[in-house]
Amino acid sequence: MFHDLTLRDGSHAISHQLTREMIEDYCIFAEDAGIEVIEVGHGNGLGASSTLIGESLLSDLEMIQIAKTHLKRTKLSVHIIPGFATIKKNIDPAITLGVDIFRIASHCTEASLTKTHIEYLSSLNKTVYGVLMMTAMCSVETLFEEAFKMKSYGANAIIIMDSTGSYLPSDVRERVSKLVELKIPIGFHAHNNLQLAVANSIAAIEAGASIIDVTIRGFGAGAGNTPLEIMAHLYECPLLNKTKILEQCDRFKVPIPICKPINILTSKYKIMSGFEKHIINAAEQYKISYIELTNNLGTQKLVAGQEDFIYITAKQIANNI
């Protein structure tokens, strides 16, 4: 039920500077704790490391190799956004290294961009999920239509991401209840901008979701994700060693996300949680208020990969353009 994205979404929280030691330690823990799936990589997935978005300390293939060395029972997944990642350069090497689950993601209204990648992996009998990001930006009907496309391409499951941390539990119930009509596993990925990640994940389960994304101590972009340790406490999972999970919480020495004013603003305007650091950096660089910058960005409906617009907008505000 719980897919642990600590080593992928958590990468955002430390500017994609996952070290070999962090990956090794966490994979050893995941095996010992009985975690079924973990995900590793740059916060924006395979092929996303760049000067604009943020450069990873380690390459995609290094991170996968390190993880696979320490994983036997626990499955390894990767996040892929077409446009960042290509089949030949990124997916084929990941297949060779033994990645178990491929999560192919697009903006919530652009599922057609995943067609080639999902069909390719499906043709090889690989486990492939369709992932719809920024899902608070579209209607339930549109979300269902886009998810249906991913299913038709061969996706084995559909994950919806509240990338902006904007949902209330009622929103989650409405969407998941509709998506379960697809008759394939449905998953939910929460962000904690409004301190509702746990409540929203519970609502998803009650509405029929069978995959819930979690990270230890909520370690993730912006205000963070649904904490693994809380969900493990709330639900009986025979495979999970809850004592080891709590012990790992105490050992996990990284900045733990908290809900800050900027997270409330990005939730309000449905701005991707991963943009937080760029907004703060741009505001400091151009000596303007991050509140003014975020309010301005709220009208632009940015999607992943448009980080440069944050700096362009900040410069325009500074120059009174």
Cβ neighbours of 88 (radius 10 Å): 7
Distance CA(243)–CA(229), nearest Å, equals: 10
Distances (CA, A) of 86 to 75, 94, 113, 173, 224: 22, 11, 12, 34, 28
User: Whose structure tokens read 């995959």?
Assistant: 211
Distance CA(187)–CA(176), nearest Å, equals: 8
Residue 12 annotated in active site: yes
Which tokens sit at 5?
């994205």
Cβ 151 vs Cβ 185: under 8 Å: no
Residues forming beta bridges with residue 40, ordered by sequence position: 7
Which tokens sit at 56?
């990873």
Residue 299 backbone dihedrals phi, psi, to 5 degrees: -90, -5
Q: One of 12, 42, 79, 278 is an active-site residue; which one?
A: 12
Q: Which residues are annotated as catalytic?
A: 12
